[in-house]
Chains A and B, each alone.
Chain A
């Protein structure tokens, strides 16, 4: 029984799906697995990966943040603007990350302290943040950013073919996975998401846990901004506005329930890889960007529909952390 347990996890299904897409795509279009294509995939999805894993804690606590792409744009614009005004680029990056934390905190304060629906609040701040980004740059774009930032976003590790941003993303994902799956804060996240009332009565500081989740989303959006601006060597208010849907899609596809309480960071990373490979394969097959969009939407529906269907028959579960949480609460 326990030997089969790992096979019943949501992530196993993702790996299987990824294997199928990779094998089928690799056979029909060998270029899919060429080094150039793999590099491009890694570079162009680095920001998406950070957005997705960053918003995962918010969704795990049964909230939502649809302002992540706007926070990316605003942080990227501010960073570039500070640099053109003469600030050192590393200091500008630090300021941008701090701004991300503040923006996330603003979302969190509205949602948690004023007890407003997260969707409505972040719908509002989404417009507000993008608007502020526009006010800073007024429709212009900043290009020709310093070499150090461009190398960070689009260069390879010296002497190898491995993009620096890939390593950065994996390191940040590992750090976030550690926080979420191996610390008491992480366990509180799942407890709050599974049953807010019960978490409250168990003595979990629900307000602080939810606030911090929003701050994490803000910080990761800012980190995504650094890689995005470095990769494309462009900062303007409209950047990444089309990344919101793929990011949320990746989180849900990665096994995080939109009702909160379940999900894993490795699952979300796998989902980003799956979406990236699928998109590249469809592109090589000559399908337009819109056909790819349809495919992404369809995959989302099929994955969740199939998950629900199989679940009904065999008990295959999306990653469950509720059991772990209740054990924790029971022993504590």
Chain B
């Protein structure tokens, strides 16, 4: 928001268009309307709430992932954190008999476990100086290995869980399940922190230009620890909810979730080059992904074609955002002449996006 230009009407329009969420919300509404008309069972009772329930976990992890990606890092280990937390915290709260304190203990413990696992990622990235993609790839295999060791082949069943957790989908608070409210709460809190606090602005600064952020006096290494811990904490929290939503937790719980969450964030306009995107965008991306999945399932399109379409959606979304933002940015950049200043030597794999552009020019 610091770079938003003002003054003329056309630039104000640009500023509005620059909000990817505006377009994303439009697409979401459009798809919903078409589906409601064209797919008979789409608006049947129960289906809309099912979409929201199914989107909740994706949204929570995607919003956590947003914090990391905005700083130009990535966390591939969220699924393993989710799975480990689902089993361990599920077992913990299942064995506790503390009455009303149960939810508090469960939430705090799941956030804490996730934060510790996330902090270890941050340590590898910031201390050991491993590239985030490699570090979290390694911890993905370590954490999911720990998940198998922890479960030692057994399962956690729904009847072992306390009722407050087992009922997070079936209960209804003002029309929505506690699960959905949890996702809404996480999104709102992270969105406020991300866009309205100096802590959040630090993250955007780091993602736009890590070196400049350091020279500005931003404590970049501390922020790196914090975003990884926050992302892990949210994945851990999602693990607790996973146990409640699905009841059964085994060694494979959460497998593949890391890519879904990243896909949701990317579709939601969070750039993997860092420095742009919002928590609302990531949440909308998760919702969109889940809704498309739901519609394809209702149309009895095979799960295999769904995978193809989901993959294609990611590529199309990324390409779309890149093209739109380049078109919007072009005049400003030419004025400033800084198109190629953004690629610095410490960039992540795949950066210095302007090289090919230069070549064609």
Contacts and interface: CB of A to CB of B under 8 A. Distances in A.
A207 B356 CA distance: 6
B17 interface: no
A70 to B, nearest CB: 9
A290 B350 contact: no
Interface of B: 74, 124, 128-131, 133-135, 137-142, 144-146, 148-149, 251, 259, 262-263, 266, 271-273, 302-315, 318-319, 322-323, 340, 343, 345-346, 348-359
Contact of A245 (B128, B140, B273, B322): B140
Contacts of A134: 302-305, 307-308
Contacts of A324: none
Given A123-B314, A135-B305, A118 B349 contact: yes
Contact of A131 (B144, B148, B305, B345): B305
Main secondary structure of the interface of A (DSSP, over half): helix
Contact of A113 (B308, B340, B351, B356): B356
Given A138-B302, A304-B134, 10 more contacts: A62-B349, A62-B351, A63-B349, A119-B133, A126-B311, A127-B311, A197-B343, A290-B149, A300-B138, A304-B130
Main secondary structure of the interface of B (DSSP, over half): helix
Contacts of B343: 196-197
Nearest to B315: A124
Contacts of B355: 115, 196-197, 200, 206
A296 B343 CA distance: 33
B356 A124 contact: no
Contacts of B137: 245, 248-249, 297, 300
Given A114-B322, A115-B322, A298 B311 contact: no
Nearest to A63: B350
Nearest to B355: A196
B314 A114 contact: no
A134 B352 CA distance: 35
A308 B129 CA distance: 8
Contacts of A185: none
Given A135-B308, A298-B142, A304 B128 contact: yes
A139 interface: yes
Interface in A55-74: 59, 62-64
Contacts of B308: 127-128, 131-132, 134-135
A298 B141 CA distance: 9
Contacts of A288: 148
A289 B310 CA distance: 30
Interface in A107-152: 110-121, 123-132, 134-135, 138-139
A258 B133 CA distance: 8
